[in-house]
Structure 1
């Protein structure tokens, strides 16, 4: 019988490891043929945290904040620059003449303000009544139209079907009115060639 077979199944063997101060424990508590080695534990006591001066901590935070702001500014400068729209840019001449073009109107009196408010209310009431009149007229016309169609249907079904048909001659409607400039007689039409004067943006 081997030496391992003589070992009690609940015993522990302590074997010195290669590292300084490390110990491995071999146990056979489940079976004599089952050996399990625990991990090598080389722990050391935690280092004491150094107490920093609050002023130093604040200075570090300020430096970090400044560094981030500098990076953001650099990224904004190197951002994609869009092509400017000349139609939306205000000419420098108008900016220089802003003071000359500004109207300095006298302040409005309270009487004028009240008069304008009353005028707005009167205009709103007038337009409301006009709208109601228009809607009532449309309702009357539609009612008369519907009543006439009903009477026609009672008289003759064929005439009623003819009356409700869509007039196809009104669909391709076209009209020609006055233009801003009269046509030029014998005008030579351009062949489409033109000179591109638009600016190039990289």
Structure 2
């Protein structure tokens, strides 16, 4: 009888331990599922604001204001300057050699100056008359051509239409030589890189 009781007692003990183990597992699972975390914000506590004297704050603002005004004045001063063109600048070496390069020309007498002025006026008059003669000659030629075409039209309309056609054989065009340039042997073609040495102006 005692052995049977002990067997039942042991069986009950095992059942109770298993039951307790299951309960503990369920509780741990529930605790784990209900356990929630928030993301780490990496924050730090706020620093206490230091009390600053109003006079010190005003001095700082005045310094900033003066600095800005100084920069504005500098920009306004440089705004009037034009960006220099290197092509139009005279090299310093030439400025240094100016006294050696200046030629002293002899003084021209008033008679020579008058003769030169008269020659210039005569040359200008001659070129003017030459130009007028050329214009009059072109006008005479074009007028004679138009009169000849009018007479031809009165004689025959077909001949007039043929005479008005463009003559493509009037200016023959000939070209000789290769159509493409042959390649040069052992020519090292550049790869297109270049060094920009132009100055930067701000």
TM-score (normalised: structure 1): 0.50
Shift of 1:72: 9.2
Match of 1:129 in 2: 129
CA distances 1:75-107 after superposition (whole Å, capped 9, x unpaired): 443438765432111100011111111121122
Residue 71 of structure 1 and its aligned partner are, at CA, apart by 9.9
For the residue of structure 1 that corresponds to 2:87, the secondary structure is coil
| Structure index of larger Rg | 2
Q: CA–CA distance in 1 between the matches of 2:86 and 2:162?
A: 59
RMSD, matched Cα: 3.7
Whole-angstrom distance in 2 between the partners of 1:87 and 1:175: 42
Q: Could you tell me which residue of structure 2 aligns to residue 99 of structure 1? A: 99
The answer to whether 1:148 aligns with 2:148 is yes
Q: How many residues align?
A: 126
Q: Which consecutive segments of 4 or more residues in structure 1 shift more than 4 A?
A: 70-73, 80-83, 167-171, 173-176
Question: 1:123: Cα distance to partner?
Answer: 0.3
Q: Distance in 2 between matches of 1:168 and 1:185?
A: 32
- How far apart are residue 169 of structure 1 and its match? 7.2
Tell me, in whole angstroms, the C-alpha distance in 2 between the residues paired with 1:72 and 1:118.
Answer: 60
* 1:103-142 C-alpha deviation (Å, 9 max, x unpaired): 2112211011110011011101211221121112101111
TM-score (norm 2): 0.50
Q: Report the CA distance shift for 1:98/1:80 in structure 2 as closer, same or farther (over 3 A).
A: same
Aligned position for 1:196? 195
For residues 198 and 118 of structure 1, do their structure 2 counterparts lie closer, same or farther at Cα, with a shift above 3 Å needed?
same
Map of 2:77 onto structure 1: 77
Ranked by relative contact order (alpha carbons within 8 Å, sequence separation 6 or more), the top structure is 2
